[in-house]
Structure 1
């Protein structure tokens, strides 16, 4: 089943979508290197798909243009069917950022999440230095809840312009580098209120 928006549609993540990720662009921002996927062989792509679709506590969808080109994926993990909560994950091809596709795709996903899955709250975690993503989440209706420090696992270049512009997002202690992670959430009511505002 495909869920159509004005410019994109969602459908359950499949292997042919993962294959298309090999043609994605690369993030120039070194702080976003973790999102430069390298899934060069079939077994890696199958494992990538398995990790996101095998569990009943995860649901992942491809975001595609109407011509079938896969430009991102959106999903939730840690689904709690009792409390009706989960944790969002969203990744887009760097070639298709800042075009509104992520906002449209996430709005489609949230409608399905609250209306069809009957969930109540969606949480997300985003690095403080990822200001573009934070602005996009706030625009949709996510609200800041808290923050915590997480080990930064990439090699840090202290002369990198991306680091220098975001020094307040990191701390170093005992030779280890940590970065601040924002915890945000959107409730069913928050989303419905935002949709009403956007219609006015």
Structure 2
């Protein structure tokens, strides 16, 4: 018998956090998130997107192969957890994850994922979760390791747009994470993985 996944859950609560299916209104509220000053995290500056762009962003991320959840803190849109590239028969997806820059350091991301992952592996029926993270994102990597994710592969991502190139001091700070060539700058990317059997260790 083939066990299928169910990439939908109505509501997960932990402390003052509530994780619910993302709505367009939640996506539009990301306009109020804080700005990352570093070019390395420019892709997370949702505050710079127009409302129309955020509507498109929302529609592109909620379909047959993607399912996004909002992290609400006392009702305020604070972050999201995305299930990307959902493969029901393989019982696998790829994690997308972000928290409002203004809320960094408050433990929101860790609390939300600790509440979400047991549901993902039990009630939703998934067996594996993968993620991809830039090697310079040390804060995220530390969190993922605490949750039990382990490294399975290393690849390189080419930044062709000079606007996305790291600043000189950032490139020096994370010198092992970048490789500059004529066409642009390569950034090291880690693929990390978590199996259902590993979650029970910290439940």
Calculate the TM-score normalised by the size of structure 1. 0.90
Contact 1:31/1:163 (<8 A) preserved:
no
Q: How many residues align?
A: 191
Query: Where does the alignment leave 5 or more consecutive residues of structure 2 unmatched?
Result: 1-9
Other-structure match for 2:88: 81
Query: Where does the alignment leave 5 or more consecutive residues of structure 1 unmatched?
Result: 196-200
Corresponding position: 1:101 with 2:111 = no
Residues 76-155 of structure 1 correspond to what in structure 2 (within 5 A)? 76-155=83-162
Change (3 A) 1:2 1:153: farther
CA RMSD of aligned residues (A): 1.4
Q: What secondary structure is seen at the aligned counterpart in 1 of 2:84?
A: strand
- CA distance in 2: counterparts of 1:173 and 1:128, whole angstroms: 18
Contact 2:160/2:184 (<8 A) preserved:
no
Contact 1:30/1:162 (<8 A) preserved:
no
Q: What secondary structure is seen at the aligned counterpart in 1 of 2:15?
A: coil
Match of 2:30 among 6, 16, 21: 21
Match of 1:68 among 64, 70, 75: 75
- CA distance in 2: counterparts of 1:158 and 1:99, whole angstroms: 27
Calculate the TM-score normalised by the size of structure 2. 0.89
Change (3 A) 1:157 1:190: closer
